[in-house]
Structure 1
């Protein structure tokens, strides 16, 4: 998560920002701590300064995906409100493999899984900027360090806190000052950002609870425990299906495939809401759900039978407004493991699907942020329409918990129990993030 707000000004830096700007001369420089604490803006400023002197190799910008690199790195750099006249010297098209910064070519790399480290092979890296180091695979980061061979090569990285057993903390941050040469880090708290008002700080504090509050607001490296969605309140986070607002579009339908386990699919929409002044105030909604539980129905369906049932539901009405009855999901997203079902949908029904982004922790963090901030609501069945809405998700959400055995090993993993609708919802928001981010602006 980037901590840059596009309305934030960079002409006033706080003491911690100034300190890190002066002292970040090591081989590896990590800016870590709470969201919106000012760490990203100062790290980008320091990176710009380093671009001018990088030599002996290529310059790389690394993020979880190229879309997140655009959103968290290049979009702020190209904003004159943040970087003044320097913004005109930064050029990047979202998704492109290269950009230009201060006249230098910059390679933009996505690192969404361990296999992505192959893209580094053959590169000699003089300067690297890494957005959100903790969501980068360890193998990729290790390969990157090995590629920084030119004299004076430098890395600037940002991150929010994660598990205290995360590889970045255990193998590197905890060893700074205890034998690990060439590394420096700076810890940022919410109050280190002088651009934030007290009202906005209070808003951020209210948008995160439990684990996410400790990590993203307090800046603590703490272990996951208890409920994943400990902020969940059906009175706040659900809306009767009959009262769904008009939708701008139905972005996607995402399906979690099961044979002996339930199969669940959820449709994600973005609303066309406006405020009293006529300004757009879009929100995301899980508007409708398909679910087949072979155990409950005492009937195991073949892929052909499941495909027909799914398509019958998909071609039905999903919104209460009759004027929107023909609105259909733009994308179909399927569980990456459901190879046979994807073939069935393509051959029999002509549906071309997209593999779901199955980064579990990132997806849960994203969904928790959306729910806590009120940017994501879930449609609930009503007496008039008992077969509409997302009853499976609403039932699973309050009991969805972190696995205590995984926590003991330093891992953030949820218990794989009653999670099929949640998985479908997670596929929705994670896989289409680059789409709904055009409408929805989180405080992180």
Structure 2
């Protein structure tokens, strides 16, 4: 790589970023971890580009991510952007979904590693240079196999990640044993990225709460423990149905599906206040446990939910919800509702992202709950992180009486593109 190409970006790099690019060559394994938008990916990709021409000819060059789609989104969209990498972007060739790329004249193999069998993709191969995107969400077995494949002189691996649990295998077995493992670890915070506008930093800091704030803003490896929504305050978040503020729109219904378990639906609106908030207006549910063990058909559930949708869920009346989101596993219910004339969509089931959205909204006073939502109010104080999963370095909630909690995050996360333009976490809380 020419001096001029590197000079294009030195004026927008922090000292921490430049040091990581220089010193990553000191060890066989280099890891960039830390806050979101902290510049760790930017720095690591520059280091990778500098390493490609020097990579040992006796081994393959590989790029690895959770899936080929995430590799494209997180790696190649950046590498091929001339606004980021200048003229070097012309020397990166990749078609989304392909298993090979060309970077600076070298062939690069591209892998997705999304389950425990992924290690078979590289078993028996020899790797001279590897780049790994979001290492904490890859299987440990794949990483261990990848490390054993670095078997030519000068072979190296570079990896990026957001932090996870303190008990995550990457922290316990690699970061805490860095010298023994031949690893150098670069920790980044948002302050290490000089290209960020102060307003953006403030928005990002306001968009997370609890464990997600510690990880994504402070860049810390922290355990998810105790109450999931520890910021919940009934005095602050619960509003009598008759005192609900006016609403502008009814954005969505989120529905968790059960056969022997509870089927729960919650309705989410956007207030018409000067500083808008989201509001859970109402809920519907059917529980076999509350009906002497009687299970019901999809037809029964579909007809009752459809009948519930146009009812009066706000003291001043309300329009129909713009979207009805169903549990992604509820294919049969989705089919029956379509047959009865109601279109539904599969909900976004990213658990961490959904919990993060709900937690941040509650923490900033941007989400309130009607006292009609008895199921939500009953579950939300009992919704707990699973301590046994935390011991294994995994973030998981205790799967017990969480049907309204699932419906809540379906409604919020799946409609994010509808409410995000109106909900500014940095605004002063509405009265």
What are the Cα deviations for residues 181-221 of structure 1, in whole angstroms up to 9, with x where unaligned? 3x221122332223345554444333333222222222222
For 2:364 and 2:101, how far apart are their aligned partners in 1? Answer: 33
- Aligned-residue offset at 1:419: 1.4
Range moving further from structure 2, 47-56 or 34-43? 47-56
**Residue number in structure 1 paired with 2:215:** 215
TM-score (norm 1): 0.70
- Aligned-residue offset at 1:238: 8.9
**Residue number in structure 2 paired with 1:296:** 290
**Residue number in structure 2 paired with 1:29:** 30
**Residue number in structure 2 paired with 1:338:** none
TM-score (norm 2): 0.72
5+ residue gaps, structure 1, are: 1-8, 276-280, 336-340
SS at match of 2:223: coil
5 Å-filtered alignment, 1:262-411, equals 262-265=262-265, 290-298=284-292, 300-309=294-303, 312=306, 325=320, 327-329=322-324, 332-335=326-329, 342-343=331-332, 346=335, 360-361=351-352, 364-365=355-356, 368=359, 380-381=369-370, 392-393=375-376, 395-407=378-390, 410-411=393-394
> Is the counterpart of residue 422 in structure 1 residue 422 in structure 2?
no
What are the Cα deviations for residues 205-248 of structure 1, in whole angstroms up to 9, with x where unaligned? 3333322222222222222223222345679889999855458x
Structure number with bigger Rg: 2
What are the Cα deviations for residues 241-294 of structure 1, in whole angstroms up to 9, with x where unaligned? 9855458x86x96534351x312356889x9x9x9xxxxx9x999887553222
- Aligned-residue offset at 1:306: 4.9
Identify the match of residue 412 of structure 1 among 395, 399, 422.
395
> Is the counterpart of residue 110 in structure 1 residue 112 in structure 2?
yes
- Aligned-residue offset at 1:420: 1.4
**Residue number in structure 2 paired with 1:74:** 76
Contact 1:332 1:352 in 2 (8 A): no
5 Å-filtered alignment, 1:72-151, equals 72-92=74-94, 94-121=96-123, 123-151=125-153
5+ residue gaps, structure 2, are: 1-8, 426-431
> Is the counterpart of residue 230 in structure 1 residue 230 in structure 2?
yes
- Aligned-residue offset at 1:30: 0.3
**Residue number in structure 2 paired with 1:278:** none
- Over 3 Å counting, the alpha-carbon distance change for 1:123 and 1:399 in structure 2 is same
Contact 2:206 2:360 in 1 (8 A): no
> Is the counterpart of residue 172 in structure 1 residue 174 in structure 2?
yes
- Over 3 Å counting, the alpha-carbon distance change for 1:332 and 1:57 in structure 2 is farther
For 2:346 and 2:123, how far apart are their aligned partners in 1? Answer: 26
- Over 3 Å counting, the alpha-carbon distance change for 1:264 and 1:81 in structure 2 is same
- Over 3 Å counting, the alpha-carbon distance change for 1:354 and 1:200 in structure 2 is closer
> Is the counterpart of residue 39 in structure 1 residue 40 in structure 2?
yes
Output the aligned Cα RMSD.
4.7
- Aligned-residue offset at 1:162: 1.8
SS at match of 2:224: coil
Range moving further from structure 2, 347-356 or 301-310? 347-356
For 2:312 and 2:106, how far apart are their aligned partners in 1? Answer: 50
- Over 3 Å counting, the alpha-carbon distance change for 1:352 and 1:198 in structure 2 is closer
Count of matched residue positions in the alignment of Structure 1 and Structure 2: 407
- Over 3 Å counting, the alpha-carbon distance change for 1:67 and 1:311 in structure 2 is farther
For 2:107 and 2:132, how far apart are their aligned partners in 1? Answer: 16
> Is the counterpart of residue 52 in structure 1 residue 56 in structure 2?
no
For 1:391 and 1:100, how far apart are their aligned partners in 2? Answer: 57
Contact 1:33 1:159 in 2 (8 A): yes
